[in-house]
Amino acid sequence: MEEVFIHICEKFETELVEFNGEQDHIHLLINYPPKVPITKIVNALKGVSSRRLRQNYPSMASKFYKGVLWSPSYFAGSVGGAPIETLKQYIEQQNRPN
């Protein structure tokens, strides 16, 4: 999944700085320019990763709630001024999803 996210971020001229998460959600630290709407990045991350997972692991699709991998909601926060290392450390301490 991380490789998919890296590829998507590159297409948007953004950088996936950190990736981790837990059983039911993930944390991404993305460095992106203000010219790129965060909604476009999130929609691409969700859409492409969902399609890729269905293509590569079709048996998993039946395990999704109503066949949907991602919920329609997300949280995006601006961390301007916060030390990147502190943010990376927080994300690294999460349990990586399987």
Write down the domain spans for the chain: 2-84
Give residue-wise pLDDT tens across range 25-62.
899 999 998 899 999 999 999 999 999 988 888 887 77
| HSE of 63, CA atoms in CB hemisphere, 13 A | 8
Quote the CA–CA distance of 20 and 27 in Å, as a whole number.
5
At the top level of CATH, the class of 2-84 is: alpha beta
Query: What single-letter DSSP state applies at residue 97?
Result: P
Residue 96 DSSP SS3: coil
DSSP state of 69: S
The 10s digit of each residue's pLDDT in 7-16 is 999 999 999 9
